[in-house]
Amino acid sequence: MITIEFSKRQQAIIEIVKEKEPITSEQIAKILKVTRATLRPDLAILTMTGMLDARPKVGYLYSGNKPINLISEKIHGITVNDIKSIPVVVDEQTTLYDALVILFLEDVGSIFVLSEGYLAGAVSRKDFLRNIMGGTDVNKVPVGLIMTRMPNIIMTYPNETVLEAAIKIIDHEIDSLPVVEKVKVDKKEYYKVVGKVSKTNITRVFVELGINN
């Protein structure tokens, strides 16, 4: 079984449940001084990993990172390579207008930007909106000027688990991750985009697991 590195808030939740089990999400939220909505992703991750056991009308119990059901065990066996989809990519010299057209035609939340065939950055709908409202000439400005650049791109790899990818998406509050493979050229390390994992990909996995179990 993989070892998951939990966030500070998730670790705090574990300690609270250990001390006060059974305890409801409302009570946990009150102790941490956050909303229940804020805790939902954390509680979902802790439950899926088997760290916590959620019981209706009772609350959360500490289960010590032991798989509590078949679905939990299956999640640990599903890799990013199993669920990845085709990425939407453009060259960094593509104009904002052309990139924006691709964004809407493909109906995605973000586009990955390449330089000489390798990952150079990413641009989201928010990035486009921010620049359009700022008066940027979308017909002249290349997408490379507004993108979030490497090494500030959160990535995932084909052999990572779907759970690890889901944690990255939640922790960094992003819509999707590029699936990459490392490539060395003249002793320099680059990243080839071989797919993407989005919230939709991950949601589909859990729906399929729920239907088939």
Q: What CATH number does the domain containing 35 carry?
A: 1.10.10.10
Asked if residue 73 is part of any domain, the answer here is no
Q: Strands (DSSP E) along 7-150, which ranges? A: 52-55, 59-62, 89-91, 110-115, 118-124, 148-149
Residue 208 — very low, low, confident or very high, per pLDDT cuts 50/70/90? confident
Q: Range of 39's domain?
A: 8-68
The per-residue pLDDT for range 122-171, each reduced to its tens digit, is 999 999 999 888 888 999 999 999 999 999 999 999 999 998 898 898 88
Find all residues with CB under 8 Å of 134, minimum gap 6, and list them.
Answer: none
Asked if residue 100 is part of any domain, the answer here is yes
pTM, 2 dp: 0.69
Question: What is the domain count for the chain?
Answer: 2
Find all residues with CB under 8 Å of 126, minimum gap 6, and list them.
Answer: none
Please spell the DSSP secondary structure of 127-195, one letter per residue: HHHHHHHTT--TTTSBGGGTSEETTS---B-TTSBHHHHHHHHHHHT-SEEEEEEEEEETTEEEEEEEE
Whether residues 61 and 108 fall in one domain: no
Whether residues 95 and 167 fall in one domain: yes
The per-residue pLDDT for range 67-114, each reduced to its tens digit, is 445 566 677 788 999 999 999 999 999 999 999 999 999 999 899 999
